[in-house]
Amino acid sequence: MRKSLKSAGRLLLSLVALLLVAGVAFANLSPELGGKPTKAQKVAYAQSGHYQDGEFRNLLPTEVMTGGSTVSVLWKFLFGKTPDAAPSAPLPTQPLDPLSISRKTPDLLRATWFGHSASLVEIAGKNILFDPMLSVKMGPVSWATPTRYNPALAITAEQLPPIDAVLISHDHYDHLDYQTIRRLKDKTANFYVPLGVGAHLLAWGVAPANVHELDWNDSVQLPGLTIISQPARHFSGRGLTNRNSTSWSSWVLKSATQRVFYSGDGGYGPHFQAIGRQHGPFDLALMECGQYDAQWAQIHMMPEQSVQAALDVRARLMLPVHWGAFTEANHAWNDPVQRATAEARRLGQFITTPELGQPVTPGIGPLPQRPWWLTVGQ
């Protein structure tokens, strides 16, 4: 009996050791995990004023978990039953013609949302991509990550015309996608990213000359267009040991006549009013609106807060993003847009709710506002 127990113990220890070795090997070999900032870069990041003890910080004290534990939240997400957590059918999608976005029209402002936060903004004759997660599967272990609602997108990375700039808000897998970056790297002139995120792009073969890290309030000038990094209230990390090793941002686009704001991910805070005072009003604001929970209320906004944030930045028109692709929280898949549209009506905030791939052109013609999410699967 004792001999059998010893043998079983050795076998268990061997299995644990094997799993540990496999995990370390995977972490070191999987390209999806990206790269790491150099020691010299880390020293330079300390000059930013929001990098301390090897981690980036928010403007306000911010907790990832404001209630419960990570284990309890994960257990609830994996094994709990949330009514209508995913749609019963693919979401309506309007295929995007590459030729329609190949024509340079300097005075045109147009935005096309592809689901989640991936969006194309045409402004000042430039094609700007925000957080282009254009893959159906997410992350290095797709069997363990949320499944995209639709098996195909309005356009593939390969079909896109040349891109003047890709802007990344932070390095989480649902915003910075390895496969998409690999497909875009040879057709994108510039990648503008928060501090530290450049290491991922370099590890994935993006030319160093095309990678530009911006701190909050840094700006760059393209012909006819200014791109400005602004604060957000979030966190970062692609592995188990690199939380907050890279920064996170929201973004401002300014042409001579038009302005666009993209919130990235993050909780509500006074930075929205500050951005509105300094850079608003905005013709269009793409606002995070989805994947929220009371237990992480400081790093993601509730839909009502998303509407208030749009008002804070002085947005003439709000386009809710960060929904319509993946289930990453314990709420119904269409809860974000239902709550946001109701709150926008209450507060008098103009809002547009396009189908996936349906262009939005502020100031020209009627805006997409049909409540299409009410008839999915019917």
Residue 327 in domain: yes
Report whether pLDDT(374) > 70: yes
User: What are the tens digits of pLDDT across the range 302-337?
Assistant: 999 999 999 999 999 999 999 999 999 999 999 999
Q: Give the amino acid at 125.
A: G
24, 123: one domain: no
Looking up tokens 């939240």 gives 73
Residue 160 in domain: yes
User: What are the tens digits of pLDDT across the range 279-304?
Assistant: 999 999 999 999 999 999 999 999 99
- Percentage of the chain lying above the pLDDT 90 cut: 81
Residue 285 in domain: yes
Residue 71 in domain: no
Q: Provide the CATH number for the domain around residue 251.
A: 3.60.15.10
Average pLDDT of the residues in 176-196: 98
Q: What is the pLDDT of residue 104?
A: 80
Residue 110 in domain: yes
355, 256: one domain: yes
- Alpha-carbon gap, residue 85 to 77, rounded angstroms: 10
pTM of the model: 0.91
298, 198: one domain: yes
Q: What is the pLDDT of residue 80?
A: 67
14, 125: one domain: no
Strands 211-214 and 191-194, bridge-based pairing: parallel
SS3 146: coil
6, 115: one domain: no
Average pLDDT of the residues in 232-245: 94
104, 224: one domain: yes
Residue 10 is part of which domain span? 1-30
307, 167: one domain: yes
* Domains contained in the chain, number: 2
For the record, the structure tokens of 145 come out as 């990550």
Confidence category of residue 8, pLDDT binned at 50, 70, 90: very low
Confidence category of residue 343, pLDDT binned at 50, 70, 90: very high
127, 249: one domain: yes
Report whether pLDDT(24) > 60: no
166, 284: one domain: yes
Q: What is the pLDDT of residue 27?
A: 47
Residue 72 in domain: no
Residue 51 in domain: no
Note whether 283 and 262 are within 8 A (CB).
no
Residue 255 in domain: yes
**Residue 212: closest CA among 181, 265, 168:** 168
118, 7: one domain: no
208, 343: one domain: yes
Q: What is the pLDDT of residue 145?
A: 86
